[in-house]
Amino acid sequence: MRIAVFASGSGSNFQSIVDATLEGRLDARVELCVSSRPDAGVVDRARLLGIPVLVLSGSIDVHLAELKETLETQKIDIIALAGFLKKIPSELIQLDPLRILNIHPALLPQFGGPGMYGMRVHEAVLAAKETISGATVHIVDEEYDSGPIVMQRTVPVLPTDTATDLAARVLKIEHELYPEALQLFAKNQITINGRKVSY
């Protein structure tokens, strides 16, 4: 399976996916890194690993033809969104048989939707006085954070937690969860019926 990782930040989830492929836990190769920022840490990580990088400045729609051509040239089977801060256009979502996954730092359907990303998510979890949070891998559809859920994993929310504390605890399980979810696709163990995902 050939993966493109889309990321806008430091690229720690990108790194966890690459590491899983190198360690034999994920039967796939990361063949492309797409970023919305030329100065993002993920760009440096990808270049150090010799993985091709495509930077999309501004709207994705402006770059859609170039992006589709690059995905086709690299023979990408699946896109893994990892902190990618741009909405994916419908034209890309509807490309068949391309699959697009996202990882979200909360237990969807709670604490998702437009504007809910990064530290805002953890602040909202703490404000709601939740005792459990976690991470969700889901299939991307036309709405933010609303696609069928593939896998979730939980972490406790401690009474002394700051948003930074909770973010670190959630990120640790993201690094475990995302490669595991991708491996289900690599092994063709996923069945999708409407909004229900089974494996």
Residue 175 known to be catalytic: no
- Tens of pLDDT along 39-49? 999 999 999 99
Average pLDDT over residues 81-108: 94
Q: Is 113 left (phi over 0), alpha (psi -120 to 50) or beta?
A: left
Nearest to 82 by CA among 32, 155, 131: 32
- Tens of pLDDT along 111-132? 999 999 999 999 999 999 999 9
Catalytic residue among 63, 104, 138, 175: 104
Domains and CATH numbers, the chain: 2-198 (3.40.50.170)
- Tens of pLDDT along 134-161? 999 999 999 999 999 999 999 999 999 9
Q: Is the pLDDT of residue 85 over 90?
A: no
Phi, psi of 137 (to 5 degrees): -105, 125
**pTM recorded for the entire structure:** 0.95
Please report the pLDDT score of residue 104 as a whole number.
98
